[in-house]
Chains A and B, each alone.
Chain A
């Protein structure tokens, strides 16, 4: 079945630095990928929709200049948290649908970001 690989699984960075998270579709081409964020004891919240070859679509309240999304190929989308602050510490998860029309969405294993 479809597999979505996310890297790194965890990262610790200093306040003010930038962090890049990669999301790859391993056995299918993903024209669309979704980026979610999850704070402790809360459900997943959609941050943005990543479209191959075009600009990402951001949800209300998500700063596009802070959370840079690049989807340059059909198998790779990246999320860069720029000038990270402690309040950006969260669990970031990507998702994509498999190659066939009725494939369910599959999720990466998430990236735990801690900003110190």
Chain B
């Protein structure tokens, strides 16, 4: 799986959009970008994934650059419950292998 780089921490005001960046400059053509988050003392939660088109679901939006070397996860209206560590992971769709977690970004939503 391609390596990803994320900032170690970010703050966001409650109610504002949280934009979490991820660099994956060595991504291969058949690798997808996955986002997970881990709220303190819980297991990781799947958020969203995409290949090259922007994706949106009830939790977040995923914006992938045209060259696919970076992406941004957007939480449109952050709440205090969105405080968590966010992981950007690149892997082949349908891979039966485990997920490899980096350090992620600690997002703190401030009241």
Contact = CB atoms under 8 A, between A and B. Distances in A.
Contacts of A49: 98
Interface stretch (B22-30, B39-47, B62-70, B72-80): B39-47
Contacts of B98: 34, 46, 49, 95, 105
A112 B45 contact: no
Contacts, number: 48
B93 A102 contact: yes
Interface residues of B, number: 20
Contacts of B34: 104
Q: Top 3 nearest A-B pairs by Cβ distance?
A: A107-B43, A43-B101, A34-B98
Interface of B: 34, 38, 41-46, 49, 87, 93-94, 96, 98-104
Interface of A: 4, 6, 32, 34, 43-46, 49, 91, 93, 95, 97, 101-102, 104-110, 112
